[in-house]
């Protein structure tokens, strides 16, 4: 299983950090404070009923972080959505994919990644790209936090 250990946020390119923080702030404004957490190397959004990670905002740079068996990817900001466990089942098994198909079509459940600090959690992922609507991305993350 591909795994990534992040570096400290301040080490990443400012343009990537700015995007990651922007999305995190948009989410933080709509989710209770106990459900969002800024880690030294990433941002986590937890589920409403279980303190499991529902989604993450991660900056990927193989020169800074430590990828292990990582798929070929470009440097940048990625949204990770929980794929397994009770919260993953709730995110993928109910109405969210039908309500937000344009977001779920960007991810594959059979291609997941893990964060080194939490190896049992599997995440589907997609890059934040130029032209993406950051409000739409924040809405996806907020919806994942409410399951």
The parent domain of residue 36 ranges over 3-145
pLDDT band at 147 (very low <50, low <70, confident <90, very high): confident
Supply 5's token pair: 């250990």
Q: pTM (2 decimals)?
A: 0.93
- Whole-angstrom distance, CA of residue 38 vs CA of residue 30: 15
**Residue 98 reports pLDDT greater than 80:** yes
List the structure tokens of 81.
């959505």
Query: Does the pLDDT at position 21 exceed 90?
Result: yes
**Residues 24/36, Cβ–Cβ less than 8 Å:** yes
- Structural domain count of the chain: 1
Is residue 67 scored above 80 in pLDDT? Answer: no
Average pLDDT over residues 3-18: 93
| Continuous segment of H or E residues that includes residue 81 | strand 76-82
pLDDT band at 40 (very low <50, low <70, confident <90, very high): very high
Torsion of CA 21, 56, 70, 131, to 10 degrees: -50
- Burial of 60 from C-beta contacts in 10 A (0-12 / 13-18 / 19+): buried
Q: What is the pLDDT of residue 17?
A: 97
* Contacts of 26 by beta carbon, 8 Å cutoff, 6+ apart: 134, 135, 138
Query: Rounded to whole angstroms, how far apart are CA atoms 94 and 143?
Result: 12
| Phi then psi dihedrals of residue 11, to 5 deg | -80, -20
Query: What's residue 23's pLDDT?
Result: 98
pLDDT for the residue numbered 84: 94
Torsions phi, psi for 81 (to 5 deg): -120, 130
93, two tokens: 């098994």
Task: Tell me 119's DSSP state.
Answer: E
Mean pLDDT throughout 49-67?
88
């Amino acid at each position: 299983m591909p795994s990534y250990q992040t570096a400290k946020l301040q080490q990443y390119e400012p343009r990537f950090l700015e995007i990651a923080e922007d999305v995190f702030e948009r989410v933080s404004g709509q989710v209770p404070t106990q459900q969002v957490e800024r880690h030294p190397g990433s941002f986590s959004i937890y589920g409403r009923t279980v303190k499991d990670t529902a989604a993450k905002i991660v900056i990927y740079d193989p020169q800074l972080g430590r990828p292990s068996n990582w798929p070929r990817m470009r440097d940048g900001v990625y949204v990770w959505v929980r794929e397994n466990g009770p919260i993953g089942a709730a995110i993928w098994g109910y109405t969210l994919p039908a309500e937000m198909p344009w977001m779920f079509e960007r991810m594959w459940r059979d291609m997941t990644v893990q964060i080194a600090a939490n190896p049992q959690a599997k995440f589907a992922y997609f890059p934040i790209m130029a032209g993406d609507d950051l409000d739409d991305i924040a809405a996806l993350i907020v919806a994942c936090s409410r399951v």
